[in-house]
Amino acid sequence: MNLIYLMIEVILCYMTIIIIYQKKQKEGLYLYTIVGLILSNIMVLKRTEILSLEIALGFTIYASIFIASNIIVQKYGPEEIKKLLLALLISTIVSSLIIFLTTLIDGSTSLSLMNITFDYTFNNIRLIIANSLSILIILWFNAILYHQIRRIKNKIIISNILTSIIVSFMSTVIFGFIAYLGLVNIKELSILILIRYLIILIIELIGTIPIYIINKIK
């Protein structure tokens, strides 16, 4: 069932990107990436079990952010990513601070269990930092790489496949080391990185479809 739920998430993410671009173009893609990063930072706090290892969720929206970025590069050029990164940085800092400050506020005694659960969940700031930094650090490189491959090959499929293979690996390694280094041994860390990488890579490869569709929209 987990696989079905993940596939539904992928379909929803990419359908949203296509629809929001049709309605709001560049502003819609900005909105999607900002909301997507915030949601991804929340979803990463929940884990699922794959091959007896706990894997942080949120990777569907995580991967789709890079696809939205590729569409922005495709339509508006790599320089536009600087503005996107600034918007993502500000929104991430503000949303994370608000969530953190909320955990410091004393909760109502009538809903003590719910309040304790909320505080415990969102106190795991390490995962949120790992998720945010792995996107923010790599997003600029992703834009440059996609643009350069696009100029050389001039084919959307090749550009997205090659970029996804390289960028998803780099971002997953950064996430893995920040999130898990010191908490698991090197073997488990390597497996966690490999599994997350393969999942994100598959999602990003599927993302070639919305890139191709949106490229046809004038």
pLDDT in tens, 94-113: 888 887 777 777 666 665 66
pLDDT value, residue 115: 64
**How far does CA 154 lie from the centroid of its chain?**
26
Note the pLDDT of residue 44.
83
For residue 54, give the 3-state DSSP assignment: strand
Q: For residue 152, give both structure tokens.
A: 């050389």
Alpha-carbon distance of 32 to 27, in angstroms, equals 9
Give 62-97 pLDDT, tens digit per residue.
999 999 999 998 888 888 888 999 999 998 888 888
What residues contact 40, with CB distance under 8 A and at least 6 apart? Answer: 58, 61, 62, 65, 131, 135
State residue 52's pLDDT score.
64
Among 208, 199, 189, 207, residue whose Cα is nearest residue 58:
199
- Whole-structure pTM value: 0.87
Q: What is the pLDDT of residue 111?
A: 59
Contact by Cβ (8 Å): 17, 214: yes
Residue 118's pLDDT is what? Answer: 62
Low-confidence ranges of the chain (pLDDT < 70): 1, 50-54, 106-123, 218
Say which residue the tokens 């084919």 belong to: 155
Amino acid 108: pLDDT:
64
Which one, of 182, 98, 167, 179, lies nearest residue 136 by Cα? Answer: 167
pLDDT of residue 127: 83
